[in-house]
């Protein structure tokens, strides 16, 4: 229940910030072009807070936090006094109207740069993309990259950590090959590899990009000593405690091998098993056999057993850790580069969605966004800033789609007006708005169904 309210609160905060940024872009440019703004609303429905400034603009926070709008004086929908005709939206030149409409998405992109800038100033602790073993018979296994090699670049794009690797791999969806450069362990020698992805099957809703290629990141040794036991989990309900050391599963010794234990647990979904543990009691060690009724969860489309504990891992070697922290001047080009990378990747994914290289099953809606907001906020301000930047970019790009109900649709009409010298007829605009609303509703419905199926 706590997770639900935490995710909900984080979602409301994140969406409130991003909607305010987007609408403020429209508002600021409208005011600079001498357009009278009647209302600036964050949210829809019944107002829960309002204020009117000296220019007569009403600022509103409404009950339903799923968007917002800026209402400008417009003769096409409002009764306008003759003395106010010069401050209407429709009286402005087509270039001014384009500027007002485009300002919302542009504000989202600027905010993303700002969020990434703060993130890089604060610092991002991360891990170098050091390769562990490859999944047998996988695409990655075919090229024989040595264990503990560092992935330096993919398709010429520098990869500093696993997030960079993930983004670079996703950008290669639909390609028959992926060019990869790795620095071999304990040397400065870099070697190129080419992955044959002609038969690559990547289902983002079921597995990570790394797993789809068979890449296993390097992991330190993990022991079956418990450092966390979740409340309300099978482990917690059975009485397992932090500090317990699991030595056997159903009477079979696991020999300090956490991976063996983990694999065994996955095979017994919704079944009762026996765990043998060593528990320290003061200065003595007691051996206990504890029955546990495992739960189940769906991972990569398969039902797996679930215990609800975290094991103890050895720390990463210092040379494998990086801290992406930059000074005030260095952070700006880093933020610009990150924003541009995500903008181009997002447009690329839209193109691949149209061509069928990416399935509509990968669309995410408000439930996934809420979960992402909650988890990123729980990790700390740096990760929440990264999440805000990513969603801000997506919000800007979605609004640029040429659907008449979105900013991009209005821009399409104004570009036609520029080319033809006259506005698009209102009847055609109205038909376009209805068509755009239907497409948007269909996409949102698919996204929500996808969200529910992932719960």
Active-site residues, by number, are: 23
CB atoms within 10 A of CB 393: 27
Question: Kindly report the CA angle at 75 between 73 and 78, in degrees rounded to 5?
Answer: 65
Quick one: which of 306, 296, 297, 255 has its CA closest to 276?
A: 255
CB atoms within 10 A of CB 208: 16
CB 40 within 8 Å of CB 28: no
Quick one: which of 117, 102, 119 has its CA closest to 396?
A: 102
Beta-strand relationship, 252-253 and 177-183: unpaired
Q: What is the dihedral of CA 283, 284, 289, 293, to 10 degrees?
A: 0
Rounded to an integer, what distance in angstroms lies between the CA atom of residue 335 and that of residue 37?
Answer: 32
């Amino acid at each position: 229940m706590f997770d639900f309210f935490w995710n909900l609160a984080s979602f409301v905060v994140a969406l409130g910030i991003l909607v305010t940024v987007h609408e403020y872009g429209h508002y600021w440019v409208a005011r600079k072009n001498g357009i009278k703004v009647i209302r600036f609303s964050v949210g829809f429905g019944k107002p829960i807070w309002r204020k009117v400034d000296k220019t007569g603009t009403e600022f509103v926070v409404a009950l339903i936090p799923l968007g917002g709008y800026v209402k400008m004086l417009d003769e096409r929908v409002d009764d306008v006094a003759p003395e106010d005709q010069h401050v209407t939206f429709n009286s402005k030149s087509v270039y001014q109207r384009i500027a007002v409409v485009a300002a919302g998405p542009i504000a989202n992109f600027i905010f993303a740069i700002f969020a990434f800038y703060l993130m890089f100033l604060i610092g991002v602790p991360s891990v170098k993309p050091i390769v562990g073993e490859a999944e047998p018979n996988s695409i990655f296994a075919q090229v024989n990259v040595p264990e503990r090699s560092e992935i330096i670049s993919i398709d010429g794009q520098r990869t500093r950590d696993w997030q960079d690797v993930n983004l670079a791999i996703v950008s290669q969806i639909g390609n028959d090959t992926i060019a990869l450069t790795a620095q071999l362990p304990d040397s400065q020698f870099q070697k190129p590899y080419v992955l044959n992805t002609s038969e690559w099957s990547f289902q983002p809703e079921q597995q990570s990009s790394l797993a789809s290629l068979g890449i296993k990141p390097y992991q330190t040794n993990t022991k079956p000593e418990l450092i966390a036991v979740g409340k309300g989990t099978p482990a917690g309900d059975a009485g397992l405690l932090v500090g317990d050391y699991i030595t056997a599963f159903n009477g079979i010794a696991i020999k300090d091998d956490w991976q063996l234990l983990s694999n065994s647990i996955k095979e017994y979904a919704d079944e009762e098993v026996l765990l043998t543990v060593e528990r320290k009691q003061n200065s003595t060690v007691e051996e206990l056999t504890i029955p546990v009724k495992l739960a189940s969860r769906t991972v990569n489309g398969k039902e797996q057993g679930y215990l609800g504990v975290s094991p103890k891992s050895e720390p990463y070697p210092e040379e494998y850790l990086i801290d992406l922290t930059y000074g005030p001047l260095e952070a700006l080009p880093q933020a610009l580069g990150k924003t541009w990378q995500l903008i181009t990747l997002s447009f690329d994914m839209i193109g691949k969605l149209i061509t069928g290289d990416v399935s509509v099953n990968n669309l995410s809606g408000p439930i996934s966004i809420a979960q992402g907001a909650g988890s990123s906020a729980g990790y700390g301000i740096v990760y929440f800033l990264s999440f805000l930047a990513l969603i801000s970019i997506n919000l800007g790009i979605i609004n640029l789609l040429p659907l008449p109900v979105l900013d991009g649709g209005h821009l399409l009409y104004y570009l036609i007006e520029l080319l033809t010298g006259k506005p698009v007829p209102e009847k055609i605009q109205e038909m376009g708005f209805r068509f755009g609303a239907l497409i948007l509703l269909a996409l949102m419905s698919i996204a929500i169904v996808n969200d529910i199926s992932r719960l």
